[in-house]
Amino acid sequence: MATWFEQNAVDLIGHALTVVGIIGAAATVVWQLGRQHQSSLLLQRDNAREELKLRLHELLVQKVRRLSNANVEAAMYAYMIPFNVENFQRQLAQGLYPTPIKERAPDFSRLHAEANNALIELIQEFEAWSIAFPGLEVFQVALNVANHDAREAFAPLFTALLRVLPFDPPDDAPPNVPRPLIQPLIQSPISSEEYAQLKILVERYKEAMDEIGSYVHDLTIESQNNLLSELFERRVPPRQPIDPRLKVISTDPEKVAQLLSYFENETSWGNAKRAAETNARAKLD
């Protein structure tokens, strides 16, 4: 027996080595397959993440465009009113039959409400995507601040427009009811002081709406840089306003801290927020 093993030792060792080689190769294949599977899972995750980012960017762009269009329409509607009022009164003073004023206070209110609703929809969208787009909180705060300023500017302007703009009867009014029903400027033209105040109110409203537009523009830039930069390997430069006092919204952590501090402590919205929190705590005590 020993002689047989001795005679076949070389063959036995060769077979053993072959078996070990097969086992080692199989183990290597299993290991490689595991790595490939893990790499495949990581690649699928990365692709899914990029697809999600692209879908989020497209969604934000859709919301931003709707808001921008509504915002510009409301702001420009208000912006043209002083010019039309001035032209109307000038023609009236010259004894001419003035060009009718087309603007109406209820229409302005409707346009402002549409812009406000579009802004609220955009802000609500932030809450659903904050995990995929870090830094959205600063835009949520910034747009709330700007919207607060727009609401504050809207109220006195709307009251002033009721004084100067024609007023139409309801749509279901009888055909013999005059249209417009009331023309305040014919009955009582506004003074130069009232006109100057109207221009101030319009300018204040337009500035607030322009601020919303600027922040939304910043959002579009940050959305591209945060969600698309890995796809295109470049970044969009930030907005650079001529007036250095104007704020540019950024998701850079250091700038976020500065912006949030400013909004919380140096704005009308921040003051109102602190007052509301103080009143709420007082009611709980």
Same domain, 171 and 137: yes
Q: Lowest mean pLDDT: which of 11-20, 44-53, 56-65, 189-198?
A: 11-20
pLDDT digits (tens, 9 = 90+) for 225-283: 888 877 777 888 999 998 888 899 999 999 999 999 999 999 999 999 888 888 888 88
Same domain, 182 and 246: yes
Specify the pLDDT at position 78. Answer: 97
The pair of structure tokens assigned to 206 is 């337009």
8 A C-beta contact, residue 74 and residue 112: yes
Q: Does some domain include residue 48?
A: no
Same domain, 2 and 74: no
Same domain, 140 and 83: yes
**CA dist list (Å): 263 to 98, 268, 274:** 46, 9, 11
Q: Does some domain include residue 24?
A: yes
Q: Does some domain include residue 159?
A: yes
Taking residues 12-36, what's their average pLDDT? 59
Cα 206 to Cα 212: distance, rounded to the nearest angstrom: 10
Same domain, 168 and 223: yes
Domain count, the chain: 2
Same domain, 23 and 74: no
Same domain, 37 and 113: no
Same domain, 155 and 14: no
Q: What is the pTM of this model?
A: 0.80
**Residue scoring higher pLDDT (10 or 22):** 22
Domain of 142 in residue numbering reads as: 54-284
Same domain, 18 and 104: no
pLDDT digits (tens, 9 = 90+) for 82-138: 999 999 888 888 888 888 889 999 999 999 999 999 999 998 888 777 777 878 889
Concatenated DSSP letters of 230-251 = HHHS--PPPP--SSTTS-----
Calculate the average pLDDT of the chain: 83
Same domain, 131 and 31: no
* Cis peptide bond upstream of 241, omega within 30: no
Alpha helices per DSSP H over the chain: 2-93, 105-129, 136-164, 184-187, 192-227, 229-232, 253-265, 268-284
Cα 114 to Cα 66: distance, rounded to the nearest angstrom: 10
